[in-house]
Amino acid sequence: MADRPTFKCFILDMDGTVVDTAPDIANAANQTLRDLGMSPLPVRQIAGYIGGGVVKLMERCLAERADELLEQSIPIYTKYYDAKPAVESRLYPGVLAGMQKIKAEGGLIGICTQKPEGFSHRINEQLGIAEYVDCLVGPDSVTHKKPHPEPVLKVLEKLGVDKDTAIFVGDAASDIIAGEAAGVTTCAVTYGYGKPETLLAENPDYTIDAFEQLFDLVRISG
């Protein structure tokens, strides 16, 4: 496809796009619920609650008891997740090869995540992708989280690239909204935690069902 657009910078969401973190997140959340005297939830249900950060996650898990227990739950969850952030987490198929391809062809990779940066760096290191990531921006580095464009703009600033040369790939509506607000091209992935109908409602520029499909649609600019 000679008419494929070319991008220098590939900005990637983390949870649900690069890494399937649901098993470890669910383990920490369920241990927290048990400590608070509540019943554990199915992993699939907790996976559907991922997106927006720890507070949103636990608010959803606690449901009608959130007003009572949310503040207490955050340090408990953080303790458990800090102990085991990448025991069962795995890269999605095609992600490692895709990152290697981007770097081999001279592209840049930025991670734009709602996960605290300390956890994110540790997971990337343990899963063997830290060496491919040129920049990682989490909630620690910004005033406003996604869907605000600030995290995406921060990645562009750190990497020194123009918005017209960047594409943001994510599994959540907040990713698409943030990317569009920042003026970059957007690509929704349907294999993550976001609901496809919610993603499509935000009119992403591209939609893929597997990470490797990205390179059927766009090219890498070295």
Q: Mind telling me the catalytic residues?
A: 13
Q: Give Cβ neighbours of residue 59 (< 8 Å, ≥ 6 apart).
A: 66, 70
| AA identity, residue 132 | Y
Those residues whose C-beta lies under 8 Å from the C-beta of residue 76, and which sit 6 or more positions away, are 31, 32, 35, 36
Residue 222, beta-bridge partner list: none
Amino acid letter for position 155: V
Q: Give the CA dihedral 77, 73, 141, 178, nearest 10 degrees.
A: 100
HSE toward the beta carbon, residue 202, CA cutoff 13 A: 26
73: tokens are 């739950």
How many Å apart are CA 219 and CA 222, to the nearest integer?
Answer: 10
Distance, first Cα to last Cα, the chain? 18
- Other CB atoms within a 10 A radius of the CB of residue 143 amount to 9
Which residues lie across from 206 on neighbouring strands? 187
